[in-house]
Amino acid sequence: MKSFNWKLSILVGIVIAAVIFGGVYLYQQIIGGATVTTTGNFETKVTPDQAAVSLQVQTKGLTAEDAKNKNALIYDDVLTGLIKSGVEMKDIETENYNIYPEYNWSSGYQQIIGYTATNSIKVTTKDFKNVGKIIDAGVDNGASVSYINFELSIEKSNEYKSLVLANASMDAKNKATSIASGLGKKVGKIVSISTSDYNYYPYPLYRSEMAGTEDVKAVATNIQPKNLDISASVTVVYKIY
């Protein structure tokens, strides 16, 4: 029986290991390789296609039930007034409804002295001339105006979102191409898209803390839409070769 050749076994093991490590290195160079990470940005101004008016009904009562019932009566009047002014139900949505206790601490301890009920609704219109009618219908029936915004409808927001994200992506690729060119290389496939942000904020024409009821009616007499700023950023990792 022949004796086992340990030296030959070790040599074969070294050769196999070298082949494995060499293959891994070659794979990393071909599949992995160098990358470049760029962030593309795009910003533009667009015209709003709708206005939004937030109306709030606030009532007080000795009990929660009392405050709620008083609120419901005024809310019904506001809703009726809005419908009579031409607003459709689909353009009215509840933003917030809340009932909370009011406290008196003058006795040195917490004492409930009543309850407050608030009901906030958002009314939207694509005809800016209707803003005055909406405010009149709300205020004349017992509501206050929390804010007036110039906004984008869901349809327009989605349309502009696609636009700015596409342009931000192009900006990221242009930056990567310029960097690669400066290094004497070319841009390859996309490795990953790590972040993408779309920013859009309504234009605040009026806020309740700005002025009183008479002032908000004055604001509504001369509604001129203001352009909105929208932007997007996209971070992309490219292979370069």
Distance CA 104, CA 239 (A): 66
- Secondary structure string (H, E, C) spanning the chain: CCCCCHHHHHHHHHHHHHHHHHHHHHHHHHHHCCEEEEEEEEEEEECCCEEEEEEEEEEEECCHHHHHHHHHHHHHHHHHHHHHCCCCHHHEEEEEEEEEEEEECCCCCCEEEEEEEEEEEEEEECCHHHHHHHHHHHHCCCCEEEEEEEECCHHHHHHHHHHHHHHHHHHHHHHHHHHHHHCCCCEEEEEEEEEEEEEECCEEEEECCCCCHHHHHHHHCCCCCCCEEEEEEEEEEEEEC
Residue 134: pLDDT band with limits 50, 70, 90 = very high
Same domain, 193 and 147: no
In this predicted structure, the answer to whether residue 45 has a pLDDT above a threshold of 90 is yes
Same domain, 131 and 193: no
Is the residue at 56 inside a domain? yes
Q: Span 24-43, mean pLDDT?
A: 73
Is the residue at 14 inside a domain? no
Position 1 scores a pLDDT of 47
Is the residue at 23 inside a domain? no
Same domain, 79 and 146: yes
Taking Cα atoms as reference points, which of 94, 84, 91, 93 lies closest to residue 126? 91
| pLDDT tens by residue, 186-239 | 999 999 998 788 999 999 988 887 655 557 777 777 778 889 999 999 999 999
Distance CA 209, CA 237 (A): 46
With pLDDT > 90 as the criterion, what percentage of the chain qualifies? 70
Q: Among the three residues 151, 176, 191, which one is the final residue of a domain in this structure?
A: 151
**What are 107's two structure tokens?**
């006795």
Q: Span 71-96, mean pLDDT?
A: 96
Same domain, 147 and 191: no
Q: Are 234 and 39 in contact (CB under 8 A)?
A: yes
Same domain, 174 and 81: no
Mean pLDDT of the chain: 87
Report the domain count for the chain.
Answer: 2
Position 8 scores a pLDDT of 59
Same domain, 147 and 56: yes
Is the residue at 123 inside a domain? yes
Position 28 scores a pLDDT of 46
Is the residue at 70 inside a domain? yes
Domain harbouring 70, CATH code? 3.30.70.2970
Is the residue at 78 inside a domain? yes
Same domain, 145 and 170: no
Same domain, 106 and 158: no
Same domain, 157 and 128: no
CB half-sphere exposure, 4, CA atoms < 13 A:
3
Same domain, 114 and 145: yes
Is the residue at 210 inside a domain? no
φ/ψ of 4, rounded to 5, equals -70, 130
Same domain, 166 and 235: yes
Domain hosting 40: range is 34-49+153-202+225-241
Same domain, 144 and 166: no
Q: Among the three residues 133, 151, 169, which one is the final residue of a domain in this structure?
A: 151
Q: Report the DSSP beta bridge partners of residue 45.
A: 229
Q: Among the three residues 92, 121, 151, which one is the final residue of a domain in this structure?
A: 151
Domain harbouring 234, CATH code? 3.30.110.170
Is the residue at 131 inside a domain? yes
